[in-house]
Homo-oligomer: A and B are copies of this chain.
Amino acid sequence: MALKTRFTIDYYQEGILQNNRVVLAQAITLIESTLPADQTLAGELLDRVLNQTGKSIRIGITGVPGAGKSTFIESLGNQVAEADKKLAILTIDPSSQLTRGSILGDKTRMETLSKNSNVFIRPTASGNTLGGVGSRTREAILLCEAAGYSIIIIETVGVGQSEVAIKKMVDFFLLLMLAGAGDELQGIKKGIMEMADAVVITKADGDNIKQATQAQADYSHALHLFAAGESGWQPKVLTSSALTGKGIMEIWQMIEGYVHQTKTSGFFDQNRVRQNISWFHEHFDQLLRTEIMEHNQMQKKIQALTTEIQHGNISSYTAAQQLLNEYHQVNRGSNS
């Protein structure tokens, strides 16, 4: 989408460094723009504030439907904000292309947090199918860091593809689960649980405490089936209640413990550098793929070849070669 108003780079830079939240929001909108001129400006802005970035703790939070994600984030957020830390919450909603329309919704959801001057809440563009889920969320994190936010929570709505993308941009990945969804712990999306640095069983209050404790034991067992990741961190399972406040402090302390452990071991920084390099390659691939897929002649060729493959008339191998030939022709054509 294009911007209604484009400001000068100094305007963005100064506003962000002064933690002007209106300007921060405008800068994130700039980052999300797909207009080449906006992208150039956005890139320049990012480089200007780059030495102010990287100092936050980046936390990814996702959960099964009904786990009470907003309520949990509100509790955790208040815990963080009480410690006089500045907290930014970026929400990714891959189910909606109209994320900006849900700003009000999000603010209503996290009522106390949205009124806290230490807290910045913002849904980020989920990206189109070409750019990948939350493709601009990574840059939004950098801008929030430049504005002085020391804790960044990336929240995903809906369990699915987006978690893989988020895992690659955060330091700590937290999965919220509900107890008692059946005799067995059915319905965990394959692959999600294995990415988690911690699983939190929410709504562990009242009649639900016993079930939650049982679920905690079951998940602990399941997580122990897997080898510790490269981080050397053994994933933890905790319970919490947003109603009683139980567990929230422990969860925050666990995250701080993780950061301390991985900073000491060097994994924290290594992981960041690796994420940056992989992000560089991914973004290049995205830019190139977008360019290719948005090209009318290429679109037509892809569609035609896909049909041929579906009918079994051509191998995927030859189809790919033909598409590359087409691309070479397109490049030649544009320069002749």
Which residues from chain A sit less than 8 Å from chain B, CB to CB?
Answer: 39-40, 42-44, 46-47, 50-51, 54, 138-139, 142, 184-191, 193-195, 218, 222, 224-227, 229, 273, 276-277, 279-289, 291, 305-306, 309-310, 312-321, 323-324, 327, 331-332, 335-336
Asked if A190 contacts B54 (CB within 8 A), the reply is no
Asked if A309 contacts B139 (CB within 8 A), the reply is no
Asked if A189 contacts B227 (CB within 8 A), the reply is yes
Partner of A142, one of B142, B188, B218, B315: B315
Closest CB-CB distance, A284 to chain B, in whole Å? 4
Asked if B318 contacts A288 (CB within 8 A), the reply is no
Assess A47 versus B283: contact at CB under 8 Å? Given A194-B191, A277-B306, A310-B277.
Answer: no
Partner of A47, one of B42, B224, B310, B315: B315
Assess A331 versus B335: contact at CB under 8 Å? Given A50-B314, A222-B225.
Answer: yes
Partner of A280, one of B190, B286, B309, B336: B309
Q: How far is the CA of A315 from the CA of B44 in the complex (A)?
A: 9
Asked if B225 contacts A320 (CB within 8 A), the reply is no
Contacts of A317 in B (CB 8 A): 42-43, 46, 138-139, 279, 283
Closest CB-CB distance, A193 to chain B, in whole Å? 8
Q: How far is the CA of A139 from the CA of B315 in the complex (A)?
A: 9
Which partner residue on chain B sits nearest A322 by CB separation? Answer: B43
Which partner residue on chain B sits nearest A224 by CB separation? Answer: B184
Beyond A284-B323, A285-B289, 5 additional contacts (C-beta under 8 Å) are A185-B225, A191-B191, A193-B225, A277-B316, A280-B319
Asked if A39 contacts B321 (CB within 8 A), the reply is yes
Asked if B225 contacts A46 (CB within 8 A), the reply is no
Closest CB-CB distance, A253 to chain B, in whole Å? 25
Which partner residue on chain B sits nearest A333 by CB separation? Answer: B335
